[in-house]
Structure 1
Amino acid sequence: MTTRVPRTLLIILAILVVLGAGIFFAVQYLLNRAKPFVLGEHCQITTPDGTLELDIEQSQVAATIAAVAARRKLPERALEIAYITAIQESKLSNIPYGDRDSVGIFQQRPSQGWGTVDQLLDPVYSTRKFFAALEKVDGYLDMPLHDAAQEVQRSADGGAYADHRATAVILAGAFGGRVPKAVHCWYPPAEKPVKLTPEAARKELTRALGAAAKKDSWLVATWYVTHAQQYGLRQIGYDGVRWVAESGHDGWKDDKSTKGAPMAIG
């Protein structure tokens, strides 16, 4: 014997299914919209050597150090030396104070001839000074990383630099551009319109990287992502993928239209 389901019941069930689906997608939409506010500001770095998180300022400093290294055509090992130094000295932050008269990401001292306070608080300038000193160290590429760092810094405890080797390897692979799609950042929408422009971002990148440097690289795309909040960049496209600020936590998504040099859209 076959029991027939009343037509009215079928209609009610269909309505419930539609309402359920609508509620599900509405909740998903609201969660996605709320995610930037809930998650705050951060960047995630992922390479085959590991995963770590930095705040946006730290990521900007890491990207700038990598750009200056590329401008000087330095190998990845030199970049690792710079990173273990900056992590130990300032935690990759551009701080206006330190031991005695030390300032900046490498805690360089004006009284020791590194430059003025204003100069040393410019990450591009201070990184150039660090690499210029490092390149004068005979055989620095063949030394343990912490020994090379100590030759430049002359710190009271040079052995402390060795504690940051694993982190430096991850940072160098990601920000140096060897590992694609390694860095993505997220942050809430700005309360006020950002006055800086994509053109200002390109000028600042050129100041760090150099006008003649190759602009078609993951190093450049990563620099743009870490500076997107500062310059009001909404999207970065490169190498068949795209990062969108509104959904920055989701990382890089496939987009075959993104070919050629990294594209930054304000």
Structure 2
Amino acid sequence: MPTGRRRRRTRYGAALLALLTVVGYITFRTLTGAPTECTVQANGERVALQPQQAANATTISAVASSRRLPEHALAIALTTAMQESELRNLRKGDRDSLGLFQQRPSQGWGTAQQIMDPVYSANEFFDELVKIPGYANLPLAVAAQQVQHSGYPQAYVKRVGAASVLASALSGRVPSLSCRVAPDGGTGSAAAVRVQLTREFGLQVDPQQGTLNMSDASDGSEDSIVLAAVTPPKPAPRHKSRRKEKAAQGANAAERNAQEEREEQEERERGWVLAQWAVAHAQDLRIAEVSYAGRAWHASHSGEGWVKAPATNANAAGHSAAPGQSHEAVQITVTR
């Protein structure tokens, strides 16, 4: 159980490099009697979760992504939450422990109401994790213990394997999360999806990153919304003489290409963080379809997992990528 005095959480937002389209969709097919389950397969291993566990795991990954934390930080958080609560937002625990990470109000982690908010509790965990010198080089169980100060530190070790598999997928590096859901015939709300995304991915201004630009191209209806958020453009390079500039171009060409490839990969991974988040939350938010990077997931036949998306799904409604982006939009369709 976590102990130690805590300071108040500081929330850090970061730009979400994805264009989100939520449109109305009518679905007629339903699953009958199919069990609900989410699975992740990576590194030759498979992890199975209930939809609510998967939703909580992707909320943790959304918070990590919003803070631009590495996959290792996400794996530490998942190791901890899997051991403390089995990724369930528990209302009871040892003494006054609560929530995903079994944080205690009496030990300065916040009020009971705050701790029961998975976004808050994940941010609280990461606030403490990043204070640990060299945490990025620590074994997962060791780092988890340094945050939690549990009376049973060895218990984290047994969660390391599954947490590593989950982190590799939910970070977007090896995207593989898929959920089998049972649509209940209810209708979804694009507005509700947008509110949840804004809360979990922290679409707000970060003083260290600059101004966050947001644009809303919705037509005003509840079932259709386009949300774009991009980071500020990079500052223009300082003036150089032609000779120095030519020399620099030659010397730095390979480095620039490598940097562009890294940025493109990071952008692609952030898109998958969002896409997998939508699938994991599909049951609660009544999401009918998610598509990204040429793949699509459909609630009406969710047992098939991610399938090849029709060409028309690649950039639905004429929305390709937000300014400064190179990838197609992440598209989320709600049931109505």
TM-score by length of 2: 0.65
8 Å CA contact retained: 2:182, 2:283: no
1:206 aligns with 2:201: no
Letter in 2 for 1:228: A
Give the deviation of 1:39 after TM superposition. Answer: 2.5
**Counterpart among 313, 319, 325 of residue 258 in structure 1:** 313
Larger radius of gyration: 1
Give the deviation of 1:138 after TM superposition. Answer: 1.4
**Counterpart among 202, 223, 228 of residue 277 in structure 2:** 223
8 Å CA contact retained: 1:119, 1:125: yes
Question: What CA RMSD, in Å, does the superposition of the two structures yield over aligned residues?
Answer: 1.7
1:38 aligns with 2:92: no
**Counterpart among 259, 283, 291 of residue 237 in structure 1:** 291
Counterpart-to-counterpart distance in 1, 2:118 and 2:140: 21
**Counterpart among 174, 183, 195 of residue 177 in structure 2:** 183
Structure 2, unaligned stretches of length 5 or more? Answer: 1-28, 204-211, 213-228, 231-266, 315-327
Give the deviation of 1:46 after TM superposition. Answer: 1.4
Normalized per residue, which structure has more strand?
A: 2
2:103 is paired with a residue of what secondary structure?
Answer: coil
Letter in 1 for 2:98: V
8 Å CA contact retained: 1:236, 1:264: yes
Larger RCO (CA within 8 A; separation ≥ 6) = 2
Letter in 1 for 2:88: S
Where does residue 53 of structure 2 map in the other structure? 58
Letter in 2 for 1:257: T
8 Å CA contact retained: 1:44, 1:183: yes
Counterpart-to-counterpart distance in 2, 1:98 and 1:188: 30
Aligned residues: 230
Counterpart-to-counterpart distance in 2, 1:199 and 1:240: 25
TM-score by length of 1: 0.82
Moved over 6 A (4+): none
Give the deviation of 1:200 after TM superposition. Answer: 1.4
Percent of residue pairs identical: 41
Normalized per residue, which structure has more helix?
A: 1
Where does residue 151 of structure 2 map in the other structure? 156
Deviates more, 1:133-142 or 1:198-207: 198-207
